[in-house]
Structure 1
Amino acid sequence: MTLLHVDSSILGPYSVSRQLSAEIVAKLRQNTPDLEIKYRDLAAEPVPPLSGAYLAAQQPGAPAPGAEVQQDLALGGELLDEFLRADIVVIGAPMYNFTISSQLKAWIDRLLIAGKTFRYSEKGVEGLAGGKRVIVASSRGGIYSEGAPAAIFEHQEKYLQSVFGFIGITDIEIVRAEGVAVGPEQRAAAIKTAKDEISKLKAA
């Protein structure tokens, strides 16, 4: 069984999402010692945003791309293959300005490929990447969960659930620590709640 561990926070050792994603992976590894783990740090090694040249090079009959675009195409293929091979995907996803980080968005843009992870048909969109388990380590400075006054601004977890659902992944678990910027007590309580959830995760 293969697990892909992805971090996207730019805060390094101060990141709550990184702390939680690492604990999730450790918990799953504890239950499944032979788990094969691939790690990708999107802050340390950012994925370039999509370019017009990248998309044009993938069109039927397109001329041979230059060296720079070829490298970008190779990276896109590597990211997609890495994702498709994984049985479990653990994602550290902090909320930045009400949504996910630009680093995480750039990675996701390399996964939603027509004919690879989804396709259009007369019946609508069909996801092709189902059967995976996705666990999101979510962190938020404020409180945006359902019922909170600021819930209307929550475009982080909803986006991730929508985008992975679009490609056929319905097994999505969210471990959340929110309000971590409200104060030390709230931060500690939020992290403890998240860790309690991690301790209850089912085996890989």
Structure 2
Amino acid sequence: MAHTVLHINSSPLGDHSVSRKLTENLLTELKKKHPDTLVITRDLVSSPLPHLSDITVGAFFTPPEQRNDALNAALVLSDELIDELFAADVIVIGAPMWNFGIPSSLKAWIDHVARAGRTFTYGAAGPESLLPPGKKVIIASARGGIYSSGPMKVMDHQESYLRAILGFIGLHDVSIIRAEGVAMGEEAKQAALGSAGVQLDEAITHITT
């Protein structure tokens, strides 16, 4: 079965990035199983997105019939990013923990795609997704320390935030490939990468079933 994959990378560390290696490995394995997989890539570091401005936010909340040319122009990028999200069967996100959260580049992408009237709406029972059901999300999560358990768990505003905001727009089928403790010495890093490799295989199986 062919897939359209939206591939998002946000680490500024280039070839030293663990999350980039994980997304690359994931796509390599997926293409081995499905050579006709179409990948749409957004590198938020080499091609950064602008953070929202007063004009962009104003355009978000102005009814289409009341928008002028400037407001319509402000929505072009957001519409393009949202169209990519609609087109994707699978969303692969490279997301390192950065100061206990996510890189600002990834937050900018989220701010463009989490948009009332396009990806969600407010109904009588609260927010409702406007995205087609059935999309799968794979998050490649890299962490210098240990945040999935122990005393630092309370500082996890990375994976917890991503699950929350993705769920808010209707993306509930989320798997995480996690490599944590990568800054705690070479032995810990290799153990983290080994564990992530097992999780990657499981994620591939989940995509293809």
TM-score range, shorter chain: over 0.9
The code of the aligned residue for 2:159 comes to E
Q: In the alignment, which residue of structure 1 is the partner of 2:154?
A: 152
Alignment partner of 1:142 out of 137, 141, 145: 145
The code of the aligned residue for 1:138 comes to S
- The structure carrying a bigger helix percent of its residues is 2
Matches of 1:15 and 1:80, distance apart in 2: 26
Whether the aligned pair in 2 keeps the contact of 1:56 and 1:62 (CA below 8 Å) is no
Whether the aligned pair in 2 keeps the contact of 1:135 and 1:175 (CA below 8 Å) is yes
Q: In the alignment, which residue of structure 2 is the partner of 1:65?
A: 70
1:120 is aligned to 2:122: yes
Matches of 1:195 and 1:18, distance apart in 2: 13
1:131 is aligned to 2:134: yes
List structure 1 segments (4+ residues) > 4 angstroms apart after TM superposition. none
Matches of 1:85 and 1:141, distance apart in 2: 33
Q: In the alignment, which residue of structure 2 is the partner of 1:86?
A: 88
- How far does residue 63 in structure 1 lie from its aligned partner after superposition? 3.2
Q: In the alignment, which residue of structure 1 is the partner of 2:45?
A: 43
Please give the TM-score of this superposition, normalised by the length of structure 2. 0.91
Q: Deviations for 1:84-116, whole angstroms, at most 9, x for unmatched residues?
A: 100000000000010111000000111111121
- How far does residue 167 in structure 1 lie from its aligned partner after superposition? 1.0
Whether the aligned pair in 2 keeps the contact of 1:57 and 1:64 (CA below 8 Å) is no
- How far does residue 62 in structure 1 lie from its aligned partner after superposition? 3.5
Cα RMSD for the two superposed structures: 1.4
Q: Which runs of 5+ in 2 are unaligned?
A: none
SS of the residue 2:75 aligns to: helix
Alignment partner of 2:174 out of 167, 172, 185: 172
1:100-119 equivalences under 5 Å are 100-119=102-121
Matches of 1:122 and 1:152, distance apart in 2: 33
More relative contact order, 1 or 2 (CA 8 Å, 6+ apart): 1
- How far does residue 149 in structure 1 lie from its aligned partner after superposition? 1.0
Alignment partner of 1:11 out of 4, 10, 13: 13
Matches of 2:8 and 2:69, distance apart in 1: 32
The percentage of aligned residue pairs carrying the same residue is 46
Matches of 1:113 and 1:77, distance apart in 2: 10
- How far does residue 199 in structure 1 lie from its aligned partner after superposition? 2.2
